[in-house]
Amino acid sequence: MISRRILRIKALHILFAFYRGENDSLAKAEKELFHSIKKGYDLYQYLFLLLLEIQGFAQKRIETSRQKLMPTHEDLNPNLRFVENPYFALIRENESIHDYLTYNKLSWVNYPELIKKLYQKITASEYYQKYMELPAADMTAHRQLIINILTKELVDFDDFVQCLEEQSIYWNDDLDFMIGMVVKTLKKFEADQPTTTPVFPMFKNEEDEDFARRLLRKVVVNHTENTNTIDHYTKNWDVDRIASMDILIMEMALTEITDFPSVPVKVSFNEYIEISKYYSTEQSSNFINGVLDKIIAAYRTDGKIQKQGRGLVGEDDM
């Protein structure tokens, strides 16, 4: 399932566009947010299909070599360990994956050269050679081979990253996380499991789906109040020189701290500090840390922070 950090990041992107006038209504912004989340989940499923495409390419090479006019001994007796890796069958036979890919018409059919290049990168790797030379391979070895493909070949492969960028602007920040989701899924797979074995859903539960929707709405509703508060606590700064992304990140943090009683202050605080390290300037995290710290202290004094739930009432987590 898509983590709350990814939900926060996607809301950040949509809100940034909203305040720049790229969305002219909150309803459209909300629709765009959930489209972005859906595209992220598409990528999760798309990576399963990528693995099957690579296996399919390898199988075709074996079949082509066998059909040569003068095949060699190696052509007629290939090492089948890779193409017979049982994790490919577990993915192919999984009804949830199959149904999602079919319904959403996801396909790598237009990228044969990319599949070929990926296969060549994989087969040239040391981990692949060691896997193919093992005297015997158990499920752990088979799984690790697939995990190595996902974690070692994709993120830094420019052709692959460019391919994703061409297909969806929403995938720019999703690849690392979705690879992690696929890896976690494969670690739960077992030999001879039912074809109905579920994979991760898009949302962990209805609460997470509601969290994304409410966060977007509440930030917009609280915009004036939060920006006034931020102005007050940055009065010694030239407001025009404060990065607009910094202000938005603080708006989101304050909204979550005051309007989401089940989320600990420390969680919200730390999440937005981490997000600022990747989506704003080099100095932003320290700046945001200092400003939020002062505002939160004042909010506590004024009783503006009310947390509910086990371990949250009267929390003192800062």
Q: Tell me, yes or no, whether 164 and 227 share the same domain.
A: no
Q: What does the pLDDT average to over 44-49?
A: 98
SS (H, E, C) 173-186: CCHHHHHHHHHHHH
Per the listing, tokens 């994304």 go with: 212
48 found inside a domain = yes
* Count of structural domains within the chain: 2
Q: Does residue 142 have a pLDDT over 90? A: yes
Which residue segment(s) compose the domain that 124 sits in?
Answer: 4-188
pLDDT, residue 172, reads 80
Q: Answer whether residue 275 shows pLDDT above 70.
A: yes
Tokens of 295: 């505002």
Q: Where residue 14 falls among pLDDT bands split at 50, 70, 90? A: very high
pLDDT of residue 31: 96
The answer to whether residue 313 scores a pLDDT higher than 50 is: no
Cβ(147)–Cβ(183) below 8 Å: yes
Place of tokens 């994790």: 87
For 102, 258, 262, the CA distances from 306, given in Å and listed in that order, are 46, 7, 9
With a cut of 60, say whether residue 316 has pLDDT above it: no
Residue 260 has pLDDT above 90, yes or no: yes
Query: Which pair of tokens denotes residue 194?
Result: 């039912």
Clarify whether residues 128 and 226 are in a common domain.
no
What integer pLDDT is reported at residue 215 of this predicted model?
98
Q: For residue 315, what pLDDT is reported? A: 55
What span, in angstroms and rounded, lies between the C-alpha atoms of 235 and 314? 30
How high is the pLDDT of residue 68?
Answer: 87
CA neighbor of 291 nearest in space, from 240, 241, 236: 236
Q: Same domain for 233 and 132?
A: no
Question: Is residue 201 situated within a structural domain?
Answer: no
144 with 273, same domain: the answer is no
Do 80 and 183 touch, CB atoms closer than 8 A?
Answer: no
Residues 176, 270, single domain; the answer is: no
CATH of the domain at 236: 1.10.940.10
Q: Greater confidence, 67 or 209?
A: 209
Same domain membership, residue 140 and residue 92: yes
Whether 248 shows a pLDDT value over 90: the answer reads yes
Out of 12-21, 96-105, 126-135, which region has the weakest mean confidence (pLDDT)? 12-21
Average pLDDT over residues 162-167: 95
pLDDT 10s digits, 96-126:
999 999 999 999 999 999 999 999 999 999 9
pLDDT digits (tens, 9 = 90+) for 61-72: 999 998 888 888
Residue type, 3: S
pTM: 0.91
Q: Report the percentage of the chain scoring pLDDT > 70.
A: 95
pLDDT of residue 243: 87
Q: What is the DSSP string of 192-261?
A: T--TT-----SSSSHHHHHHHHHHHHHHHHTHHHHHHHHHHHTTTS-GGGS-HHHHHHHHHHHHHHHH-T
